């Protein structure tokens, strides 16, 4: 019984590799479009958010393996649609305000996504870092308004 379970699991894993998706593409980064902020804020965002919310992707080998590749494709696509910090300055005021409005709450409840931090412990934010990001978002919101 057990033997055939692992056998079929292996067969399935091998089969789905034919339907694996590519690693999310690095997009070209235009000068002047990238988010500008203090080096503290940028370094937190880069460490914890840029794998999904930027045009850069650090892709370890297992990103190519299905079913992980399915998650990464969808996550990065959806995340970039919400906000791509590499294109920040090309966004309208309305879009920027919408992101900044949600950001303080997002970093407390759901960002970075737990499915991601499970593999990327270095992306977990400390309480101090969450506060730093929330403060930055609130201040920038006031400035843009």
Which of residues 35 and 79 has its CB atom nearest to ligand HEC in the complex? Answer: 79
Place of tokens 């996550």: 75
**What whole-number distance in Å separates Cα of residue 42 and Cα of residue 131?**
14
Which of residues 35 and 99 has its CB atom nearest to ligand HEC in the complex? Answer: 99
Which of residues 2 and 81 has its CB atom nearest to ligand HEC in the complex? Answer: 81
Asked if 47 and 122 count as a contact pair (C-beta separation under 8 A), the reply is yes
Q: What minimum distance in Å lies between the beta carbon of 68 and ligand HEC?
A: 11
Q: Is 52 exposed, middle or buried (0-12, 13-18, 19+ CB in 10 A)?
A: buried
CB count within 10 Å of CB 50 equals 20
Interface residue list for ligand HEC (CB under 6 A): 48-49, 51-53, 75, 78-79, 82, 99, 102-103, 106-107, 110-113, 116, 123, 125, 133
Q: What minimum distance in Å lies between the beta carbon of 124 and ligand HEC?
A: 9
Q: What minimum distance in Å lies between the beta carbon of 7 and ligand HEC?
A: 32
Q: What minimum distance in Å lies between the beta carbon of 37 and ligand HEC?
A: 12
Q: What minimum distance in Å lies between the beta carbon of 2 and ligand HEC?
A: 34
Long-range CB pairs of 112-119, under 8 A, 24+ apart, other chains included = 112/48, 112/49, 112/52, 113/52, 113/75, 115/71, 116/51, 116/52, 116/75
Which of residues 16 and 108 has its CB atom nearest to ligand HEC in the complex? Answer: 108
Which of residues 5 and 68 has its CB atom nearest to ligand HEC in the complex? Answer: 68
């Amino acid at each position: 019984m057990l033997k055939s379970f692992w056998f079929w699991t292996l067969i399935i894993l091998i089969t789905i590799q034919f339907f694996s998706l590519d690693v999310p593409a690095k997009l070209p980064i235009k000068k002047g479009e990238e988010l500008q902020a203090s080096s503290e804020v940028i370094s937190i965002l880069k460490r914890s958010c840029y794998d999904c919310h930027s045009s850069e992707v650090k892709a370890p080998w297992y990103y190519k393996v299905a079913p992980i590749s399915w998650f990464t494709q969808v996550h990065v696509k959806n995340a970039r649609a919400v906000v791509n910090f590499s294109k920040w300055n090309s966004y309208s005021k309305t879009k920027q305000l919408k992101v900044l409005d949600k950001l303080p709450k997002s970093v407390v409840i759901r960002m970075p996504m737990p499915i991601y931090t499970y593999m990327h412990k270095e992306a977990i934010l400390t309480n101090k870092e969450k506060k730093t990001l929330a403060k930055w978002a609130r201040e920038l919101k006031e400035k843009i308004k």
